[in-house]
Amino acid sequence: MGEVAAKIRVMPSGMDVDLNTLKDALTKAVPKGARIHGFSEEPVAFGLKALMVVVKVGDIEGGTEKVEEVFSKVNGVESVSVEELGRM
């Protein structure tokens, strides 16, 4: 079984959300079988920034669904979407 790397865009619920606190919360929320490879910030508009999270998961059915589900439940998250997906 190989691994899949997913680049996931996490939109904060507003400009008042501290991105460092959000990174910590996302790191703690990662489900078993997945791990965070890195974070970056991407400007969206008017000072709002999205978090781009690279997550590695096993190449299994449902791959990133569990990660998307738990990330969307983190306080301060407006939306979660997979931007890129690739095998490693």
Tens-digit pLDDT profile for residues 12-70? 999 999 999 999 999 999 998 899 999 999 999 888 999 999 999 887 666 789 999 99
Q: Domain residues of the chain, as ranges?
A: 3-87
Superfamily of domain 3-87: Ribosomal protein S6/Translation elongation factor EF1B (3.30.70.60)
**Separation of alpha carbons 54 and 57, rounded Å:** 10
Tens-digit pLDDT profile for residues 61-81? 667 899 999 999 999 999 999
**Separation of alpha carbons 35 and 88, rounded Å:** 14
Which structure tokens are listed for 66? 């569990």
What was the pLDDT predicted at 88? 72
Of 45, 55, 58, the C-alpha closest to 15 is 45
Any residues with CB less than 8 A from the CB of 6 and at least 6 apart, and which? 54, 55, 56, 57, 63, 64, 67, 82, 84, 85
pTM confidence score:
0.89
